[in-house]
Amino acid sequence: MIKGLIFDLDGVITDTAEYHYLAWKSLAKKMGIEMDREFNEQLKGISRMESLDLILKHGNKENDYSEEEKIELATQKNEEYKESIKQITPNDLLPGIEQLLKDAKEKGLGMALASASKNGPEIMKRLEIEDLFDGVVDPASLSAGKPDPEIFVKGAEMLGLDVSECVGLEDAEAGVEAINGAGMFSVGVGSKDAMHKADFIVEDTKDLTLDVILERASK
Ligand code: B16
Ligand code: MG
């Protein structure tokens, strides 16, 4: 029986990808690296430092900066990103998500956040959904990021549930792999192609209704 939902943030609850993109693009420009939206797709669900490494590699500059300099660059990106997320309001919840969270709460399901973003708690506050959640996995506490299952396993632990009692929701391929690796039922939001490893695929968050999720997961 399903007793908990474990959510990714960016791409499932709200769309912060555009803000990440603009902040990385402006940092990349300062380093003389061009990046477009197509390249940006690779950064979804990937941690801040790993994203920076991918951008440097993309610009053939992977050996140009020391660890210290890279931390400084990632901090610069994060400062710009933090400025832009100040605009987030409850209107930025993706379609269907508010209803899903409310229905799950009403049914007594546990809910945890499994986002790679260290800005997750701030974003949840701005979306006014933090009270609906029982826990947020701290990405800084992880020994490995997605596709490693650790973040979803920790989410289930936080809820006091077995992984078999939880459903994980993701929009990134690495995230779906993490859910599957944890032994949880995976819901993928996105194209059939990108989400082919998910147990259940919806193209849009508006199709994420609690009844359908529970029905699919208990088959
Ligand atoms: P931060 P998710 C991820 O969020 C984003 O998709 C990814 O682009 C970002 O680099 C990562 O969070 C880290 O974010 O710099 O705020 O710590 O999809 O795992 O909710
Ligand atoms: Mg995501």
Catalytic residue flag (residue 64) = no
Residue nearest to atom 13 of ligand 1 (CA): 117
> Is 7 in contact with 208 (CB distance < 8 Å)?
no
The radius of gyration of the chain from alpha carbons, rounded to an integer in Å, stands at 17
Q: Which fold has domain 4-15+91-217?
A: Rossmann fold (3.40.50)
The per-residue pLDDT for 41 is 86
Residue ranges of the chain assigned to CATH 1.10.150.240: 17-87
Give, in words, the CATH class of 17-87.
mainly alpha
Catalytic residue flag (residue 8) = yes
Longest CA–CA span in the chain (Å) reads: 53
Q: Alpha carbon of 175 to those of 39, 75, 89, 195: distances in Å?
A: 18, 24, 25, 10
Residue ranges of the chain assigned to CATH 3.40.50.1000: 4-15+91-217
d(CA 28, CA 190): 27
The per-residue pLDDT for 126 is 98
Average pLDDT over residues 189-200: 96
- Write the Ramachandran bin of 146: left for phi over 0, alpha for psi from -120 to 50, otherwise beta: beta
| 44 CB within 6 A, ligand 1 | yes
Average per-residue pLDDT for the chain = 96
Q: Is the pTM of this model over 0.85?
A: yes
Annotated catalytic residue: which of 10, 131, 148, 171? 10
d(CA 52, CA 81): 14
